[in-house]
Amino acid sequence: MLFRTWKKITAVVALALTVSCVSHSSLAQNPNLVITQADVVAMRIGVQKEGRFQNAYNDLRATVDRQLVQEINVPVPKDGGGGYTHEVHKKNYQYMYNAGLIFQISEDQKYADSVKDMLLEYAELYPTLDVHPKRKVNSQNPGKFFWQSLNEAMWMVYTIQAYDLVKAAIPAADRATIENDLLKPVAEFLSVGQPSTFNKVHNHGTWATAGVGMAGYVLDEPEWVEMALYDLEKSGKGGFLRQLDELFSPQGYYNEGPYYQRFALLPFITFAKAIENNEPERKIFEYRDGIVYKAIDTTIQLSYAGLFYPINDAIKSKGTDTIELVHGVTIAYGLSGERGLLSIAEEQNQVILSGDGLLVAEALDQGLQLPYAYRSVAFGDGNDGKQGALVIMRSDLDGEQSVLFKPASQGLGHGHFDKLTWQFYDLGEEIVSDYGAARFLNVEAKFGGRYLPENNSYAKHTVAHNTVVVDEISHFDNNVKVGNANWPTLAYFETSDEGSVSRASIATAYPGVNLDRTLALVNLPELGRTVVVDVFAVTGQSKQQYDLPLHYLGQLIDTSFPLQAKANNLQMLGTDNGYQHLWLKGQATPDSGLAKVTWLNKNGRFYTQTSLVDGSETFLFTQLGATDPNFNLRNEQGFIRRVKSNEHTFVSVLEPHGEYNPSKEYTLDAVSTVTSLTYTEQDNVVFVELSIAGNDYLIALNSSAQNAKEVTFKNSKYTLSGRLSVFSQK
C-alpha cells in the first residue's frame, strides 16, 4: 500500500520537475512554501481552461476584488475571541493570502501592492504593541494581535505564505521594513519569546513551529527551521518532528479524536509541504513511515456519511468537507495520486488554488474519481499505538451500517469518560448516539459560544455514553489525569466477510471492577441483513449498581414488556455525574427471557435492541433536560439497564428492520424478528445462538489466540477459523 503510494509520489515529483524546467528563470526564488514557482506556472495555464480550477480562481478573484477596493483596516488589538478586532485580524491574514495567490496567477501588480500596503500598516503597528489586553491572567501564551498566541501563530502561517507570494514584487525598502519591523519580531515572539508553547508537543506548538519554520525559509533564517524541527535548543525533545512522533499513533490516529484531528491537521500538512519543497532531502513525507499521509487518510476513515464520528468534545456537524481536510485531501492526492481521494474531493466541492489543487481539479474534470474505500479498522491509540484503540466496523450488506467501538485512551482535556462505549449508524443516520460536545460554537448567548457548563456536568460523564457506570460514578471518578494515565486493553479486532468483531477490557476505570466488552457487527447473508451482538461483562468484588445506558435517536415504538410511565410528574434520575440532567420517564423490570425495545429513526427504519435478561435488570427510560436552567441541552432519549450485583453480563442484539414510509403509505416489518437469544461462554469462546426471521444462527466469538480451533458446542463440532464465526443452522 505504502509502496504504491510512494511510486505515485515519484511520478508526481517528476511531473513537477518537468514543469519547473519551463518556468521563467527571470522570477526570483519565491514563492516556495506550499506553492512553488513550478506550481504557479502550471496554475497560470490551468486557469485558461474551462473547468473547476478556472471556476475556483474566478470565484476567489471576485471575492478579493470586492475586498481590494475597501480601505485597509488594521485596528489596534482590543477584543477577545469572536470580538471585532479579533475577527478583523483573522480576515486580514486570509485576505493577504488570497490576494497573494491572485497576484501570482493573474500577474496583476495591484494585488501585490494591496498585500504590501497591508503588511506595511502591520509593520507600523506591531512595534507599538504590548501583549494583548484580553489575554488570560498569568497567561503563558498571550498574543499581541490576538488574545492567545495560537491565533498569533495562525496569523503567521497565513501571513508568511502571503509574503512569500508577493515578496518578489515589492520594493526592497518595503521588504526591509516588513521583515525587520514585523515578520522577524513576530517569529521571535512566537519562538524564543514563548518557549513553553513553541517547545510543547501539542497542536498549539505545531502552529507555532509551522509559522516560524516557514518564516525561516522565506526570510533565509535556516536556524529557525532547525528550531522549528527540533525545538529551541535543537534537542529534539520538542519541535515539529517530535510532534509527528508523539501526537499520532503509528496508523495516524490523533489522540483527541477526529474533531480535533482535523483541526490539528492544517499546520502539519502545510509545514510538511513547505519542507518538502525547500528541502526534499529531509524526506519529510517519508518520516515515520509516511505519518503525514496516514494522518490525512485516517481523518477521512473516521467519518460516516461525511461527518466525523463525534467522540469526545466534538461538534456534530463537522465532517470531511471542513477546510482543513480539503487542504489535506488536496495534498494527499498530490502525494499519492489515489483516485479514491478524488471522490472525497468531489463531495467537498471546494478547489484549493495550489499545484496540488490543480491536479485535483483537472482529475475531477476528467472524471477520474473512484469510490473511496472506507474500511473496518482498529486504530491503535497513543504514540506507540498500544494505548487502547478506536475501532470502526462497517458493513454495506443492508444499508450502510457502522459500529464505532471505543476502547481508546482518554484523549487529554477534551476526552470523555466513556471507556468501551459504542455508537451505531445506519442508512446515513445516527442510531445509537453519542451526545458529542455541549456547545453552540460562537453563539454569544450560549455561554459566550464556549463549551457550556453542561459539557462538564453532562456530556463528558459516563452516563452520557453507552457504557457501564458503576454506582453512578463516572470512569476514573471524572479525573482527567487518572484517565490519561490508564487505558483499555484491546484483546483483538478482526474483520472478514462474516463481519467485524472486537473485544477490549479495562480494570482501572473503577477500583476492583473489570469491564470487558465484545462487540460484533455480524453479516447474515441468508437474510441480507446485519445485526450487532454486544456482550458486556462486568466483574466486581462486592454488590454494586451497574448501569448500562443506551442513547437512541428516534421515537420509541414499543417494548416487549409492560412499561410504567411517569404520567404527570417527572423527577431527575440522580444528583450528580450527569444523572441530574436526566428525567426518569418510566421504568420496568422485565421477566426473565428476551426484553425488547423498538424505536423508529428518522431514516425510516426500525431498530430493536433485544436484551437477554434474567429478571434482575431494571430498565429506566430517560429524557435529557433536567437541571438545565438555560435550555442548553438537546432533549434526547435513552434507556438504562440497571442491575445490582457483584458481577453481571449484559447481552444484547441490535437489529435494524423494516421501513416506515408514510409518504407512500406503507410500513414493512415494524416488529422485531428475533425469537430466541442465548449466551454461553465456554473454553474462551462466546457462543451466541440467535433465531431471527426463521433462521437459526450460532455466532462464535473466539478469544483464543489460535487461528483455527476445534470446539464442541451442544454436542456438535465446529471449526472456528478466526475470531468471528457465523454458522447458519438452516
**Cell numbers at 509, concatenated:** 476505570
Using alpha carbons, select from 219, 225, 222 the residue that is nearest to residue 240: 225
Residues in the chain: 730
Please, are residues 682 and 704 in contact by the beta-carbon 8 Å criterion? no
Cis? peptide before 31, omega within 30° of 0? yes
Instruction: Kindly tell me which of 142 and 554 has the beta carbon lying closer to a copy of itself.
Output: 554
Contact positions with a copy of itself (CB under 8 A) in 666-695: 666-667, 670-671
**Residue range at the interface with a copy of itself (CB under 8 A); choices 52-60, 220-228, 514-522, 622-630:** 622-630
Instruction: Kindly tell me which of 359 and 464 has the beta carbon lying closer to a copy of itself.
Output: 464
**Residue range at the interface with a copy of itself (CB under 8 A); choices 124-132, 275-283, 520-528, 564-572:** 564-572
Pairing of strands 659-661, 666-668: antiparallel
Q: What is the DSSP string of 641-674?
A: EEEEEEEEEEEEEEEEE-EEETTTTEEE--S--E
**Residue range at the interface with a copy of itself (CB under 8 A); choices 41-49, 265-273, 396-404, 561-569:** 561-569
Among 24, 66, 481, 664, binds a copy of itself (CB under 8 A): 664
Please, are residues 48 and 387 in contact by the beta-carbon 8 Å criterion? no
Please, are residues 175 and 167 in contact by the beta-carbon 8 Å criterion? yes
**Residue range at the interface with a copy of itself (CB under 8 A); choices 188-196, 296-304, 315-323, 512-520:** 315-323
**Residue range at the interface with a copy of itself (CB under 8 A); choices 5-13, 167-175, 191-199, 578-586:** 578-586
Instruction: Kindly tell me which of 328 and 586 has the beta carbon lying closer to a copy of itself.
Output: 586
Among candidate residues 414, 416, 581, 648, the one labeled active-site is 414
Please, are residues 474 and 417 in contact by the beta-carbon 8 Å criterion? yes
Among candidate residues 260, 451, 510, 607, the one labeled active-site is 260
Q: How far apart are CA 278 and CA 301, in angstroms?
A: 30
Cβ contacts of 270-273, under 8 Å, gap ≥ 24:
270/33, 270/34, 270/157, 270/161, 270/210, 270/214, 270/327, 271/206, 271/209, 271/210, 271/213, 271/214, 271/228, 271/240, 272/331, 273/33, 273/34, 273/331
Is 24 one of the catalytic residues? no
Closest separation in Å from C-beta 441 to a copy of itself: 5
- Give kind and range of the element (H or E) at residue 513: strand 513-524
x/- string (CB under 8 A) for a copy of itself, residues 155-184? ------------------------------
Contact positions with a copy of itself (CB under 8 A) in 439-478: 440-446, 449
Q: How far apart are CA 238 and CA 65, in angstroms?
A: 42
Closest separation in Å from C-beta 450 to a copy of itself: 12
Instruction: Kindly tell me which of 238 and 436 has the beta carbon lying closer to a copy of itself.
Output: 436
Instruction: Kindly tell me which of 164 and 256 has the beta carbon lying closer to a copy of itself.
Output: 256
Residue 568 in contact with a copy of itself, rule: CB under 8 A: yes
Instruction: Kindly tell me which of 317 and 456 has the beta carbon lying closer to a copy of itself.
Output: 317
Closest separation in Å from C-beta 21 to a copy of itself: 40
Closest separation in Å from C-beta 53 to a copy of itself: 22
Q: What is the DSSP string of 424-448?
A: EEETTEEEE------B-TT-TTTGG
Residue 569 in contact with a copy of itself, rule: CB under 8 A: yes
Strands of 314-444 (E only): list them.
Answer: 377-380, 389-395, 401-406, 421-426, 429-432
Among 545, 570, 593, 649, binds a copy of itself (CB under 8 A): 570
Residue 323 in contact with a copy of itself, rule: CB under 8 A: yes
Contact positions with a copy of itself (CB under 8 A) in 386-445: 440-445
Among 230, 583, 687, 697, binds a copy of itself (CB under 8 A): 583
Closest separation in Å from C-beta 572 to a copy of itself: 5
**Residue range at the interface with a copy of itself (CB under 8 A); choices 41-49, 235-243, 633-641, 703-711:** 633-641
Q: How far apart are CA 680 and CA 291, in angstroms?
A: 42
Closest separation in Å from C-beta 352 to a copy of itself: 15
Residue 665 in contact with a copy of itself, rule: CB under 8 A: yes
Task: Please give the backbone phi and psi of residue 378, each rounded to the nearest 5 degrees, phi first.
Answer: -105, 115
Please, are residues 451 and 438 in contact by the beta-carbon 8 Å criterion? yes
Among 21, 66, 631, 715, binds a copy of itself (CB under 8 A): 631
Instruction: Kindly tell me which of 223 and 576 has the beta carbon lying closer to a copy of itself.
Output: 576
Among 490, 628, 651, 726, binds a copy of itself (CB under 8 A): 628
Please identify which residue in the block is written with the cell numbers 471449526. Answer: 719
Q: How far apart are CA 392 and CA 402, in angstroms?
A: 7
Among 270, 421, 598, 601, binds a copy of itself (CB under 8 A): 598
Beta-bridge mates of residue 584: 571, 622
**Residue range at the interface with a copy of itself (CB under 8 A); choices 191-199, 219-227, 530-538, 665-673:** 665-673
Is 209 buried (19+), middle (13-18) or exposed (0-12) by CB count in 10 A? Answer: buried
Task: Please give the backbone phi and psi of residue 212, each rounded to the nearest 5 degrees, phi first.
Answer: -70, -40
Is 581 one of the catalytic residues? no
Residue 555 in contact with a copy of itself, rule: CB under 8 A: yes
Please, are residues 490 and 509 in contact by the beta-carbon 8 Å criterion? no
Instruction: Kindly tell me which of 322 and 467 has the beta carbon lying closer to a copy of itself.
Output: 322
**Residue range at the interface with a copy of itself (CB under 8 A); choices 72-80, 332-340, 526-534, 661-669:** 661-669
Is 722 buried (19+), middle (13-18) or exposed (0-12) by CB count in 10 A? Answer: middle
Among 138, 565, 710, 717, binds a copy of itself (CB under 8 A): 565
Closest separation in Å from C-beta 446 to a copy of itself: 6
Contacts of 575 (CB under 8 A, 6+ apart): none
Interface with a copy of itself (CB under 8 A): 315, 317-319, 321-323, 440-446, 449, 555-558, 563, 565, 567-572, 580, 583, 585-586, 598, 600, 621, 623, 625-631, 634-635, 637, 660, 662-667, 670-671
Residues annotated catalytic, as ranges: 260, 414
